[in-house]
Amino acid sequence: MDEAGRGSWAGPVVAAAVILPRGTRLPGLTDSKLLSLKMRETLFDQIMTHAQVGVGMASHQEVDEHGLLHATFKAYERALEDLDAEPEHLLIDGRDKFTFKAPHTSIIKGDLKVRAISAASVIAKVTRDRIMINYEQEFPGYQFDNHKGYGTKAHQEALKLYGPSRIHRITYKPLQQLKWTQNAFL
C-alpha cells in the first residue's frame, strides 16, 4: 500500500492497495515520483489490468478535522475495503505505525524496494493527479492541473490573490501564514 497527497495543501489523500499476481511483468515499475507522466499512465493501465487494486480517499475536511495521520489511515482502510481479496499481510510505504486488523509492516522507501508498493504508488499518484486536474475546472486560476495542490510558488501566488478554495487544507501552517486579498472560491 502507498498514498499520494500527504504533503499537498489542497485536495484529498489518496491511498492504493495492490496485490500483484506472481510473475506479473511491469517493466520500468518503481516509485511513481521517479516516473515520467507517460510511464505512470502506461503502468497505471497495466496494473489495473493485471492486478487486484483497491483505492481509498480521505478528504481535505478529514485532514483538517482529524489530522493528516488519521486521514491517511482512513484512506488506507478504504483502499483495503475496495479490494476484492483479503490480503494476508500488508506492506505499507513509510515509517508510520498503523493499527490494521491484518498483520502489517511499514517499510521506509518501500516504493523503491517492493514491487507491489511501487504499483500502489503509481495507482495512488495517477488517481490523485486526475482528481486535481479536474479541480482546475472548478477552481480556475489555482493551476491545480500543474502543481496538484502542492506548495509551489505559483500556488502560493494564487492563494495570495484568491484566498483558499473550499478544497484547501486550511489548518496547514503555510496556508495560515499567507495573506490573501479575497476568498473567491470558499
CATH fold of 2-138 reads: Nucleotidyltransferase; domain 5 (3.30.420)
What DSSP designation does 62 have? H
The three cell numbers of residue 182 are 479575497
First to last CA, the chain: 33
Q: Give the pLDDT score at 183.
A: 56
Q: What is the pLDDT of residues 97-111, one digit of tens each?
A: 888 989 999 999 999
Q: Which residue has the cell 502489517?
A: 104
Mean pLDDT in residue range 167-186 = 74
pTM above 0.85, yes or no: yes
Question: Residue 85: pLDDT above 50?
Answer: yes
Question: How far apart (Å, rounded) are the C-alpha atoms in residues 48 and 42?
Answer: 10
Q: What is the pLDDT of residues 3-35, one digit of tens each?
A: 999 999 999 999 999 999 999 999 999 999 999
Distance from the Cα of residue 37 to its chain's centroid: 15
Helix axes 115-138, 37-50, angle to 10 degrees: 120
Question: Residue 94: pLDDT above 70?
Answer: yes
Contact 9/3 with Cβ under 8 angstroms?
no
